[in-house]
Structure 1
Amino acid sequence: MPPTTTIEIQNKIVSLLPFFSSPLSSLLSATLMGKEEQKPHAIFVTYPLQGHVIPSVNLAIKLASKGFTITFINTDAIHHKTSKARLDSGGGGGSGGGHDDDIFAGARKAGLDIRYRTVTDGLPVEFDRSVNHDQFMASLLHVFSAHVEVLVRKIIKCEPPVTCLIADTFFVWPSMIAKKFGLLYVSFWTEPALIFTLYYHIHLLRANSHFACQDKREDTIDYIPGVSSIEPTDLTSYLQDTDTTTVCHQIIYKCFEDARGADFVLCNTVQELEPNTISALQVEMPFYAVGPIFPTKSLVATSLWSESDCTQWLNTKPHGSVLYVSFGSYANLSRHEIMEIAKGLHLSKVNILWVVRPDIVVPEEGDPLPDGYREDMGERGLIVQWCRQLEVLKHPAVGGFLTHCGWNSILETIWCGVPMLCYPLYTDQFTNRKLVAGDWMVGLDLCQSRNRVTKDEVAKKINLLMSGKDGEKCREEIKSVRKAFENATAADGSSSRNLDQFIVDLRDRTAAAPHRSMEVRI
């Protein structure tokens, strides 16, 4: 009888393990099956703005549903606002159990292994980050990383062993912290691939005098890899600025230097909508289009304000008759802008659901709308401080969206098949408008310059969108773009395959360096 080999002994023991239900059997199974079977554990750090928190939370849920352990790091300030909003809304908002200290309590009840930690961003919780934007950005640039590093040092001592650090691309320190603790670094880009590549090739814009020079060129930009052409007016606001020494510019310069050290880049876009741009980026780095990433179920509360339920009012309006208006969670409008838009909405005669944040016009206090405006709108208008946007966009009464062109809003709006009227305010929103109104033709441009917005133009464009031929064309085009979303997120779709491939590649890289963080954990 031939001698029994070690492999045969291991296989015999593994075959007996199902008959034992004890911690020892689990330990033996994990040991004998090998390290490649170990559950991946990702530390996930979100950028502390609502437009970044929403896709980060939902990517964390996606990864957890595929077997990851996630330790999600939020800032104390964002956690405080989210908890307060949930309580003000009566404890709802998708928290799934009302546990005030843990936004992922509901996700864990659904069987997902997501742990939750918070850390200071270097400023007091009550500090007004919207009004004091530059001070907030400076704290994220110079202070926040030290607090994250202390927390990461604690987390890596926990089980299961940490595999990687996932962090928003706009942070300037993730590759440094990942390298220090022997972790793989996954950069998460929450905007379209077009904007990533513009920032990634900022040196080309500078060298060709389209950025950061006294006599900036105004001709078409046609030298960015994977981008056939783009007008200077369609660049992000930071790439159009004359003052390129601000703290936000410092962050952009440094974060894209840092991103070059990423092991993987995940992007909240769809391969079929930006094929050339994504293909060019994939020559440079492991770049995976895994979007659209937004909540389909409310497992986690992410709103920073108490949300109004608009369903009852919407139920009273005819199909496609309501224009939804929202300018996002952070940007501000001038007094002139808000007045002209308000008057244009009134002149249009369409039904209006308008989100008007209390801080939408700063530094002024009080009602930002004209005197008596709410009363004049009567039953034709509903004005709220915040709402459940996805629920509103899904409602059959909604026929259009006047939007600031935030990327989350665009993805949600396309998913719901609602055409857009574009009024970008700052940062990525100008480039997003190009995609919506120019490339995909699922929306109209309100006006090229914020300084030239007038009530008559607002009313005219609203009516074109809601009842004109231009609006009909947008509705037809949005069907095909939405179909691309559906196809991408199907089980065999491009985004699903890309996410699965990322997980395979991550496991392969982890298996290739199994002891990379052992010295730190000890």
Structure 2
Amino acid sequence: MAAAVAAHVLVFPAPGQGHIKCMMHFATGLVGAGLHVTFLHTDHSLRRLGGAAAALAAASADSPRLRFMSIPDGLPDDHARAVGDIVELLESLRTNGSVPYRSLLASLVRAGGGSGGFPPVTCVVADGSMPFAADVAEEIGVPSLVFRTASACSVLAYLSVHRLFELGEVPFPADGDLDEPVRGVPGMETFLRRRDLPGNFRSCTENQNDPIVQMLIEITAHSHRARAVVLNTAASMEGPALEHIVPRMRDVFAIGPLHAMFPAPAAATSLWREDDGCLAWLDGQTDRSVVYVSLGSFTVISQEQFTEFLHGLVAAGYPFLWVLRPDMVGTIQNAALREAVAAAGDSKARVVEWAPQLDVLRHRAVGCFLTHAGWNSTLEAAGEGVPTVCWPFFADQQMNSRFVGGVWRTGLDMKDVCDRAVVERMVREAMESGEIRASAQALAREVRQDVADGGSSAVEFERLVGFIKELSTRDRS
């Protein structure tokens, strides 16, 4: 008979801001449910956190069951690890990082790692973009689950990729009509267009040899085999997509938005140093008067795009808080910062390198959010009822922005356009439309019900904790 043991979960996110953030909220929830958690970073990510996460784990009396460890990703320290390097980074982790990962995990299975009284690891929850992490765990006898950090609607599109090729809906010609309907994704036949498919579908060839598409095909095939798939989403937002995903997996847990259920300290979730001073600036603005602009942790824009955004924001006439990362506009960054503030005037513009986004979205002064429609940002705006203008950059963001503009109607979809007149018009509409604001606030109420006690996400998280505990008590010898 299997003996009961303490559940100890190793949580392993891909080394990107959005992945680390949502999986840290997840880990916080597991700790709150009484489980031990080892949160595994890459060495590079942990260095970017400045050791703050490790210090928090060591010093916080509230989280004695949480600790942070790291392994090398196999790339040189001075490697940029930028958006164009994603495939290289993940491949390096698979080929170079899997050996130290296997060694570390084996040691944690034997003795819990020898510190802090942690029991042996009994389960791995690995980022779905790193199939090797789940496979290595299973090979050494540790049951593993897959965590998909993207939206359910985009996961469903990835699940449909072979069907899309069979129907001839991808690839489509470079000069083809991007508004042509797409029929191959179930449940989305009435509103999905070519331009709404995940970005790399546009670069597919007849041989399906786009590296990102190949990676997505591999990830999706792996998800089919996983013991379970965890999704950071809510039934009120993506119920129809979940209904199509569930029959195709062994089990699915929809447990979001995780940030609303399990707050985590910014020091443990952000690879960028947040500028808290922008909150004081917001305090000096009137209610719903500020446009918050942030295009996420990976998006890069050209000088021309920067200029169009800037002129559109200034012409809209509202104060704006703009997040411009140091690597976002290349070598012109310092000049861009000065130009943005000067163009609007000090009292009407605040430009920062990174912001405490959730605090910003909750601030009474914020009237709308110009976003890249990354899934974390989309969930945070939805939970706070903030109208959005979406300018997606890559991956699942094209799908997310379509749902914002065409399904939930909580904002506007500005994809494939970067024109000052369009920026001005859409910002004004998002700020002034009573219909959009009402839809955003209605969705926020539904999301809050999902994450409240007895709500669908809260119930699913309890089921997941039970599932993990059951895996931990099984005899795996």
How far apart are the structure 1 equivalents of 2:242 and 2:83?
36
2:256 maps to amino acid: G
- C-alpha displacement at 1:505, in angstroms? 3.0
Provide the rounded CA distance (Å) in 2 between the counterparts of 1:129 and 1:284.
33
2:397 maps to 1:437: no
Within the alignment, does 1:56 sit opposite 2:23 as a pair? yes
Q: Distance in 1 between matches of 2:164 and 2:447?
A: 31
Q: Does 1:507 align with 2:469?
A: yes
CA distance in 1, matches of 2:272, 2:301: 18
Please list the CA deviations of residues 137-194 of structure 1 after superposition, one character each: whole Å capped at 9, or x if unmatched. 4323433323322221221112423221100111131342122111212101112111
Does residue 179 of structure 1 match 2:179?
Answer: no
Q: Within 2, Cα distance between the matches of 1:185 and 1:424?
A: 32
Q: Does 1:261 align with 2:214?
A: no
1:85-484 aligned at under 5 Å gives the runs: 101-105=54-58, 108-130=60-82, 133=85, 134-159=87-112, 160-212=119-171, 219-229=180-190, 230-242=192-204, 244-285=208-249, 286-294=251-259, 296-298=263-265, 300-309=267-276, 310-362=278-330, 364-367=331-334, 369=336, 372-378=339-345, 379-446=347-414, 448-450=415-417, 453-467=418-432, 471-484=433-446
* Cα distance in 2 between the residues matched to 1:130 and 1:335: 18
Aligned CA RMSD, in angstroms, stands at: 2.3
Greater shift in the superposed pair: 141-150 or 118-127: 141-150
* Partner residue of 2:35 out of 68, 82, 86: 68
In 1: Cα distance, 2:78 partner to 2:308 partner: 32
CA pair 80-358 structure 1, distance change in 2 beyond 3 A: same
Match of 1:26 in 2: none
Q: Which string of whole-angstrom CA distances, capped at 9 and with x for unpartnered residues, describes residues 469-515 of structure 1?
A: xx22111011221111111111111011111112223334454xx33
Query: The residue matched to 1:515 in structure 2 has which SS?
Result: coil
Distance 2:453 2:202 in 1: 40
Deviations 1:289-335 (A, max 9, x none): 10001263527522222211112211111111000001101111122
Q: Is the 8 A contact 2:233 2:257 kept in 1?
A: yes
Secondary structure at the residue paired with 1:305? coil
Partner SS for 2:421: helix
Give the structure 1 partner of residue 9 of structure 2: 42
**Contact persistence 1:173–1:255 (CA under 8 A):** no
- Indicate the SS of the match to 1:288: strand
Q: How has the CA–CA distance of structure 1 residues 148 and 368 changed in structure 2, closer, same or farther, with 3 Å as cutoff?
A: farther
- Once the two structures are superposed, what CA deviation does each residue of 1:248-290 show, in whole Å capped at 9, x if it has no partner? 3332222222222210111000012222221222212201110
- Letter aligned with residue 296 of structure 1: P
2:334 and 2:266 mapped to 1: Cα distance? 34
Of 66-75 and 127-136, more deviation after overlay is shown by 127-136
Partners of 1:299 and 1:386 in 2: how far apart?
A: 12
Question: Would you say the 8 A contact 1:267–1:291 is kept in 2?
Answer: yes
Amino acid at match of 1:435: F
1:217/1:184 Cα in 2 relative to 1: closer, same or farther (>3 Å)?
farther
Bigger radius of gyration: 1
Q: Distance in 2 between matches of 1:288 and 1:476?
A: 29
Distance 1:434 1:395 in 2: 26
Give the match for residue 89 of structure 1. none
Render the CA deviation track for 1:90-122: whole Å, top value 9, x for unaligned. Answer: xxxxx6xxxxx445345x421441122101111
Name the CA distance, whole Å, in 2 between partners of 1:373 and 1:412. Answer: 26
- Distance in 2 (CA, whole Å) between partners of 1:354 and 1:149 is 42
Aligned-pair distance for 1:217?
9.2
Q: 1:80 aligns with which of 47, 62, 78?
A: 47
- Quick check: 382-391 or 142-151, which moved more? 142-151
Aligned length: 460
Give the aligned residue type for 1:118: S
Which deviations, in whole Å up to 9, do the C-alpha atoms of 1:394-435 show, x marking residues without a partner? 110111111110111111112222110111111111100011
Structure 1 contact 406–428 (Cα < 8 Å) conserved: yes
Displacement of 1:131: 6.5
**1:242 offset after TM fit, Å?**
3.3
User: Does structure 1 retain, via aligned residues, the 8 Å contact 2:230–2:253?
Assistant: yes
| TM-score between the two structures when normalised by the length of structure 2 | 0.90
Sort the Cα spacing of 1:175 and 1:79 in 2 relative to 1 into closer, same or farther, 3 A: closer
**Kindly, what percent of the aligned residue pairs are identical?**
27
- Unaligned residue ranges in structure 2 (runs of 5+): 113-118
* Counterpart position of 2:453: 491
Quick one: structure 1 residues 331 and 140, their matched pair in 2 at CA, closer, same or farther if it must change by over 3 Å? farther
Return closer, same or farther for 1:161/1:217 CA change in 2, 3 Å cut-off.
farther
What amino acid does structure 1 have at the position aligned with 2:74?
G
